[in-house]
Structure 1
Amino acid sequence: MARTEYYDDPNAPVPNSLVVAASAAVIDDGGRLLLQRRVDNGLWAMPGGAMEMTESLPEAAVREVREETGYEVEVIGLVGTYTDARHVIAYSDGEVRRQFNVCFRARVVGGELAVSDESYEAGWFTPSELEDLPMHHTQRLRVKHALGKGVPHPG
C-alpha cells in the first residue's frame, strides 16, 4: 500500500482517522541510529507503527522494531511525543490519518539485522550519514531530538 505524507499543505486531504503509534530511536554504543527504508514511500525512518489493542505503547515500539529490523530491543527512555495537526498521512486504500506518535529510546538486546515486507533496507547510520538520507521532515525532527539536538515540544 502506498503512503503519501503531507506537512502544512493546504492541498492535503482531510483526515478520516486518528492513529496511536509508537516509534523507537535505537542508538548503539558508537552513537549510530538504526533506520529502515520504508516500502510504502521509499523514505528512511525509525522503526515504528500503530499500537495494537492488546499492547502498550512501549510494547508496540518493541514489536515494530522486531518486525521491521530483526532486532529485539528494550525501551530505556522517551524521545518525545508528536501530534502536529499539520502532518497528514494518506494511504492508497483511502485512509487519511492524523497520527499521535510516542517516540521511545531503545537499545538492542538480541536478534540480527533483517528487512521485512515493510522495509527495503535497514541499517545503522552515524549522525553525519543521516544528513543525505531521503527522509520526511517530521521524521528528521524526531531524529534530531533522538540525537539530543533540540528539545521536543508538545505538538
Structure 2
Amino acid sequence: MTGQLRVTCGVVVLDERDRVLLIRRDGEGTWGIPGGGLEPGETWEQAARRECLEETGWDIELDGLLGVYSDPATQTHRYPSGAVVQFVGAVFLGRPGSRTATPDGEATELGWFPLDRLPAPLFAPDVPVLRDASHRHDRPFVG
C-alpha cells in the first residue's frame, strides 16, 4: 500500500449523561470525534485540546488516555480525492468545560450522542475508538 502516514490525536468528549460529542466533517459528511494532526512543538494533549476547540468551540478537560491507534486495517482511510492516509495517534477521554469559541467550519454539524446510538455514516478510523470508549474501564487500548 502506498500512502501517507499522519501523526494525529483525538478526544472522546463525554458529557454528564455519557453522551459523546461528534462532528460531521465537511466534504465527506462522516461523523467522528474531534481531532487532527500534531503541529511542530505540540504534545498530543495540547493538540487534542486545540483540535477540539477549533472544530467544536468547546474548551475541554482531559481525563487520561483512551488508547493509541495505528493498525493499518482500521486506521487507513481513502479520501474522496483518492489520497490514502494511515493514522497513528493517541486518543484521549475528555469532558466538556465551556463553549468558548466558534467552530472553524471544518465541521458542518455537531451533536451529542449516546454511545449505543451513534449516527451514520461514521468516519471508519473512529469506529474502533468509539467501541473502546464504551468499554473505557479496560483502557488504555492499543490497536
Structure 1 equivalent of residue 12 of structure 2: 25
- C-alpha distance after superposition, 1:64-121 (max 9, x if no partner): 1000000001211111111012332345677532210211011112225854321010
Structure 2 equivalent of residue 100 of structure 1: 88
Between the aligned partners of 1:47 and 1:94, the Cα distance in structure 2 is 22
- From the CA coordinates, give the structure whose radius of gyration is larger: 1
Gaps of 5+ in 2: none
Structure 2 equivalent of residue 53 of structure 1: 40
How far is 1:40 from its partner?
3.0
Q: TM-score, normalised by structure 1?
A: 0.79
Between the aligned partners of 1:115 and 1:148, the Cα distance in structure 2 is 29
How far is 1:147 from its partner?
2.0
- C-alpha distance after superposition, 1:51-72 (max 9, x if no partner): 1012100000000100000000
Give SS of 1:128's match: coil
Give SS of 2:108's match: strand
CA RMSD of aligned residues (A): 2.3
Gaps of 5+ in 1: 1-12
Amino acid at match of 2:5: L
Runs of 4+ in 1 over 6 A off after TM superposition: none
Counterpart selection for 1:83 from 49, 70, 75:
70
Give SS of 2:116's match: helix
Q: Which moved more, 1:107-116 or 1:33-42?
A: 107-116
Between the aligned partners of 2:21 and 2:81, the Cα distance in structure 1 is 29
Corresponding residue pairs, total: 141
Q: TM-score, normalised by structure 2?
A: 0.85
